[in-house]
Structure 1
């Protein structure tokens, strides 16, 4: 009997324990805010509460990171709303025209809160545990009222890889009692820091471009829900207080009056908490709503209320840091409290206006489909000779959820070039792309394509131009006429194996897809050649850079040769032309020295202290995830110990190389180049070579001439605006290219580059000035008066021969954030040609 009673008591205790939600401290085993929790502990707590509250929480896994950590959201709702959650989701999509059909019932407000997009801004993932607990706390009247009319989606950690990189480091070096001394070990995070994901990309700037796995998987889920509000939680420098809306100018002009109004409403609700507790904060400074690839702007351009919250702290703050200016110690616990407060204030704000928010959201999409914003009602893209770029654009449009089709028939009309802004009459063919503005996502479409976004204030947080026609190198046009695609199929390339085995397959060289084709051939051990001069065969002209895949040299593949080559081409959207002879009617025959073999180079990229993590990550991701070609990563401290005879190409991403490229290191480097090595120096890495012995790169001698003419009588209050005259924070310039040089193979004329610095390099006196700015080359975005002057007659891309090798100077980084598609071929030329 005693055993039976004991078992019943244990069962009762277990049942009681199972039904109760443990507070975060109880689950973690330490006070919240006393240390940084590893991602698996945060995920485990979310999973536990989901298991214990099956009528109120639905856990949705949506993918995994590059390092294999799980990505998930927790959907929290009232039992009534959770029971019909799928109906709510589909009714929401039906109400805005993204899904066919008519809504069957009333849609509650849907609020999506994202935490920890920057790994070392780690407070927000600590906060989310408290947020989830309180949303499920039956005794919390505020949260229970919120859930009556609001569905809450919580993403506990957007960037688990970066977070764990930070947490593992910090927990390893943290003193037994956290040391608030700012210069202590625990406040000096090592390279590359935890801010970035595995490939050292900034995920908060990847919402529109979706280069990273985490972004692709998250936004795929986002598009399946289309929330009415999205909040993004961050941290800034430890000396700052707390930022919440209203946002700073500039606002993009297409942000609606309701979205602007709600921006102010959010501030009202946040102030309630901060004023009550005497917490410091600021609004209307620093954080604007303009560049379309942030966690506040991209949702805004998708009709939602989008916002950013910034807590003073960041990776340097650790668990506690002394702040001399404030005369206090900023603790992790207080940072958690602040993010928890704005999480609650955000949910209170949307709950208080749930019905109006949903109504405005539906109206936003109704207008998009019936009265789209902007001058252009249709967008047309020429595909003849640009199939690779058009296919890449299709891929981006698919990620955005933007509808498109083909023209379907020959069409002529008056249009506006989206690069030159010139009005012209143009002819379009059936296989050209046509994108109608009369669709649910027309506002996002317009904003991504706009060549010159209107800027209400020159002081901005990020780049000011991003037009897809520039970024993809497309012949794209806007039409004021409403045009409807008559064919809904998409572009597709299919290559057939000829009945008579060809002498060679020819592949034009004009897009990034062709570069991917090249690297897959190389890694598949298929031998190929490239023509370094234009040629004509069978009445068709081919440009310099054309790939020639001959049967000769690939005899070991036997009958698999044709199948392998055409199969790779089909998968990558590359059109092949079979050639039955190696004789050309003009140019050089395929056995000529001008049609040279292409071999697989051994590529090394520099990383480590001094090198920009972002710039290194862009190169690393380019090789491993975009062109799938092996690259060897080395740290700068090992520079002098490199086996130079094994390296063909060395890439120096932007950074400070003063401690890497010492005099002895430069001597080694030059000897390697003279023996046939190829050095690619990017952005500020060129500064370590400029004006050095044997390097032809020189800085302009009158760099400060424009400044010397300025009046010294300036107002201190205008200092920020005055400094903007020297900046070009991401503007489009027309770069003149020497298309006869291998570095520019595949380009037919000028190249539109995204210029982000006032490069001050003279033309090379002896080498090849392959890409340069002539006179006034500015085309779009903000560029200061002084910056425009300094960018005249400036080297952008140059090649210097040194012995048997060469140096490629890339003042501009064509791989910036991975989204400037048209620059990738140029970088590929630098590596492989």
Structure 2
């Protein structure tokens, strides 16, 4: 048989196979864009394609959501490439070491990170079908990795809600119920986290599963498909300023190349679009920036619609935007991206290889000291990102000192952590560790500071020299449970980190009675700080299996336990003192629903269930007034827009409950609902306006004038009164991530963390007027009110779950403040 006939029959065979594949509409039984497809139906379609086109589609399940929905990846390419897929991957990864030899473009398309931005999953089904039929030529030079839904829990929440409330046929009037989701909307995941802001912090299971596979591929191109407001036209690359300084010229230029190709198709259809506005490349935890800092061309594509779009809606200019329109736009940019990438596969490979070579960053190494638990927490994050680290040798290391904000030095030890930019993930190291990221434009889309030494509460220096790896030391420490004995008078352990808080929470759940010391003391040659935990035989003499529980729990959390044969201390307060109090096993409630922020509520919910592992009762706003608060020790009010949620009668109810021993933890915007004008004594800080600045400002400068009053996620150095129970386990300073310019006056007493006059941020952007506004203001404080307490958290220590060093403040509010 001639070579021509072989090629002919191969072509005919492919054509028959392509014709036999069902389109999404044929498979689902309804025209794509006339219904929202539930996740299990999407999974069914991808499984169908993987079976019917198994030579060109490889489908994998890379994880499971909190609500047990599967997370999928479909690898789509030519039959030859799919057969050689693992070889292509390994050869591609060699490019990070400068030795690879592959000619294929690796394109990763991520759909529906925000659940109610629901069009992109629909578009993904049309896109994969088109790749397997009419656009199969694109697959010769490209391996396409498709994640049809990053956030299945959120998407099904939206789809089910919409299918429940929509008119039949759907109603395009934007006032109709189907265009107005309730408080618990579909944008976020199960715990109400924004997965598009979690790529670097990896607090959520979806992110943790995804990053394992992402690091196995490190694609050339990554697209994150989104939606925005109904009235906005389509956005695609190039991105807006600010670009982080590590973004290469090629990454910038190739965004333009892609954008021009998209524009060609949009122009032909008369579709509106915009570029170079709003969506920047700076904050490192997005689905465009994180891939960019790992060598990809990372991009966000934004279609108008989102949760307000439904199946169709009338826009502000009187046009009707349908789900079919939205699918067409995402479908077009997706295919255009693959087309351009396949044509430029050689260039993408060459430039990807260059990205990982010849790094010449100012800071070559970061040396970090601090509590071992905090060091371990950071190591855990770095390991997930495949970032290398080592111990330091003993000695002095010079560089930029994070604590002082000036050049200085620190002394290394066997526990010091060294992270160098001289490694494969060096660019990501620079971005995550740099003291103060260079900001080319103060008008940004998100926070402007995130440096990990501040976030994890570690002392450190950024060195302009490579710090060599230290020698490995074998840990010969005796397991803590061996020091636990039934005849011991008391067992003592420290209080410095979230690991300690989890240890305490576990003991309280098991019914073990634990005391805390409100004064430092020394015993048997060891010193113990305020907040140290004391577990006595006498307190637990009626607890069955007490010693076994203590051993098991100390082993679980690798806690160092000090036994004591006496309650008579060498200095400080004896164990029978009134300054050594029993820790209450608190029953804790949190307000949910309107008026709270879904994100802020979700952070608290996630903290209890996935970080602290302690029970939490959720009280919804719809029946909150009927709840008897006497059943609870602690009530948490998440930040939000409370307005007049608490009327005079309800405020009186709260005050009476606190007076009898209750504890309120009011966070952010919730403080406005109970402040000095409405209930408790905290007062908003008022700053006099500058009456001399009355000159009219040009309209074009409006945004620039507004940001004088803004703080876009900047880090400030605060003072800490660590004699206060709210600050147990902290030093004399704390670096807080401030997200706005709201400020409150100092309390008469109980100012645990506060700002003084010098309010210049140590990292990130804060407007000049905002800096004046927050001077001499409270950050965290507690007010004694009758027999109870009101704790104020102006800044959010649980923000996005990544500010590790703030979490102990929240644990202190729960367990230490009484």
d(CA) in 2 for partners of 1:548, 1:144: 68
Is 1:72 the counterpart of 2:72 in the alignment?
Answer: yes
Query: Is the partner of 1:215 in helix, strand or coil?
Result: helix
Match of 1:617 in 2: 602
CA distance in 1, matches of 2:258, 2:564: 65
2-side partners of 1:110 and 1:135: how far apart? 15
Is there any run of 5+ residues in structure 1 with no aligned partner, and where? 1-15
* 2:775 aligned with 1:792: yes
1:254 lines up with 2:246 in the alignment: yes
| 1:830 lines up with 2:777 in the alignment | no
| Residue of structure 2 equivalent to 1:680 | 665
Cα distance in 2 between the residues matched to 1:491 and 1:665: 56
- The whole-number CA distance in structure 2 between the counterparts of 1:697 and 1:279 is 53
SS at the partner of 2:689?
helix
1:134 to 112, 115, 130: 130
Counterpart of 1:6?
Answer: none
Aligned match of 1:335: 326
Contact 2:114 / 2:195 at 8 angstroms: preserved in 1? yes
From 750, 762, 771, give the equivalent of 1:768: 750
CA separation of 1:706/1:520 partners in 2, compared to 1, >3 Å: closer, same or farther? Answer: same
Asked whether 1:502 is paired with 2:484, we answer: no
Q: Please give the secondary structure, in 1, of the residue aligned with 2:384.
A: helix
**Structure 1 counterpart SS, 2:25:** helix
Q: Secondary structure at the match of 1:779?
A: coil
> Deviations along 1:89-141, whole A, 9 cap, x unmatched?
2222233249xxx65x525111100000000000000100000101110xx2x
Deviation, structure 1 residue 798: 1.8
Over 3 Å counting, the alpha-carbon distance change for 1:764 and 1:129 in structure 2 is: same
Q: Distance in 1 between matches of 2:792 and 2:415?
A: 38
C-alpha displacement of 1:64: 0.6
1:63 aligned partner: 63
How much has 1:566 moved relative to structure 2? Answer: 4.1
Q: Deviations over 1:443-498 (max 9, x none)?
A: 10111011111101010000000011111110122222222323457989742513
Between the aligned partners of 2:165 and 2:679, the Cα distance in structure 1 is 45
For residues 606 and 334 of structure 2, the distance between their equivalents in structure 1, rounded to whole angstroms, comes to 34
Measured after TM superposition, the shift of residue 542 of structure 1 is 1.2
Picking from 389, 398, 413, the partner of 1:414 is 398
Q: CA deviation at 1:17?
A: 9.3
The count of residues paired between Structure 1 and Structure 2 equals: 799
What is the aligned partner in structure 1 of residue 560 from structure 2?
575
Q: Aligned with 1:497: secondary structure?
A: helix
1:3-14 equivalent positions in 2, closer than 5 A: none
Partners in 2 of 1:635 and 1:499 — Cα distance?
43
Shift of 1:564: 3.5
Given that residues 418 and 469 in structure 1 are in contact (C-alpha distance below 8 angstroms), is that contact kept between their aligned partners in structure 2? yes
Taking the aligned partners of 2:483 and 2:26, their CA distance within structure 1 comes to 70
| Deviation, structure 1 residue 429 | 1.3
Matches within 5 A, 1:288-367: 288-325=280-317, 327-367=318-358
**Structure-2 residue corresponding to 1:745:** 728
2:378 is aligned with 1:404: no
Correspondence for 2:614: 629
How many angstroms apart in 2 are the aligned matches of 1:564 and 1:62? 36
CA contact (8 A) 1:707 1:786 kept: no
Alignment map for 1:2-41 (pairs within 5 Å): 20-41=20-41
TM-score for both structures, normalised by structure 1: 0.93
Cα offsets for 1:764-801 (capped at 9, x unmatched): 23x42222110023321000111111011111212111
**Counterpart check, 1:807 vs 2:790:** yes
| Distance (Å, rounded) in 2 between the aligned partners of 1:281 and 1:200 | 30
Residues 289-342 of structure 1, C-alpha deviations (whole Å, 9 max, x = no match): 0000000000101111100000011101111111132x3111110000000001
CA distance in 2: counterparts of 1:324 and 1:377, whole angstroms: 52
**2: CA distance, partners of 1:510 / 1:652:** 25
Structure 1 residue 111 corresponds to structure 2 residue 107: yes
Q: Please tell me whether residue 540 in structure 1 is matched to residue 526 in structure 2.
A: yes
Q: Which residue of 1 aligns with 2:13?
A: none
2:363 to 373, 376, 394: 376
1:356-391 CA-to-partner distances (Å, cap 9, x unmatched) read: 111111221233xxxx342222211114xx011101
Deviation at 1:706, TM superposition (A): 3.2
CA distance in 2, matches of 1:187, 1:93: 45
1:800 is paired with a residue of what secondary structure? strand
Select 1:431's aligned residue among 415, 440, 443. Answer: 415
1:708 is displaced (CA, Å) by 4.4
Aligned pair partner of 1:736 in 712, 716, 719: 719
Is 1:470 aligned to 2:454, yes or no? yes
Partner of 2:7: none
What are the equivalent positions in structure 2 for 1:580-619 lying under 5 Å apart? 580-619=565-604
Per-residue CA shift, 1:672-709, capped at 9, x if unaligned?
11110000100000011123355111122x44x23644
Q: Which SS does the other structure have where 1:786 is aligned? A: helix
Change (3 A) 1:741 1:588: same
Where 1:74 maps in the other structure, the secondary structure is: strand
Given the alignment, which residue of 657, 661, 667 partners 2:642?
A: 657
Residue 236, structure 1, aligned to residue 238, structure 2: no
Residue equivalent to 2:499? 513
Q: In the aligned structure 2, how far is the partner of 1:681 from the partner of 1:503?
A: 39
Give 1:189's aligned residue.
181
Cα distance in 2 between the residues matched to 1:303 and 1:85:
20
Q: d(CA) in 2 for partners of 1:59 and 1:707?
A: 63
CA contact (8 A) 2:390 2:419 kept: yes
- Secondary structure of the equivalent of 1:801? strand
Counterparts of 2:722 and 2:326 in 1: how far apart (Å)?
55
Aligned equivalent of 1:671, options 656, 669, 685? 656
Query: Structure 2 CA distance, aligned partners of 1:807 and 1:415?
Result: 42
Q: Contact 2:226–2:302 (CA<8 Å) still a contact in 1?
A: yes
Is the deviation greater in 154-163 or in 85-94? Answer: 85-94
Which residue, out of 414, 420, 424, partners 1:440?
A: 424
SS in 1 for 2:157: helix
Q: CA deviation at 1:653?
A: 0.3
**Tell me, what secondary structure is at the counterpart of 2:639?**
coil
**Kept after mapping to 2: 8 A contact 1:379/1:478:** yes
Tell me the SS of whatever aligns to 1:315: helix
Secondary structure class of the residue paired with 1:725: helix
**Equivalence for 1:224:** 216
1:707 and 1:612 mapped to 2: Cα distance? 33
Q: 1:463 to 1:826 in 2, by over 3 A?
A: same
Matches within 5 A, 1:91-170: 91-97=91-97, 106-137=102-133, 140=134, 143-170=135-162
Query: What are the ranges of 5 or more consecutive residues in structure 2 without an aligned counterpart?
Result: 1-15
Higher mean C-alpha deviation, range 599-608 or range 770-779: 770-779
Question: Is the 8 Å Cα contact of residues 713 and 765 (structure 2) preserved in structure 1?
Answer: yes
| More off after superposition, 411-420 vs 650-659 | 411-420
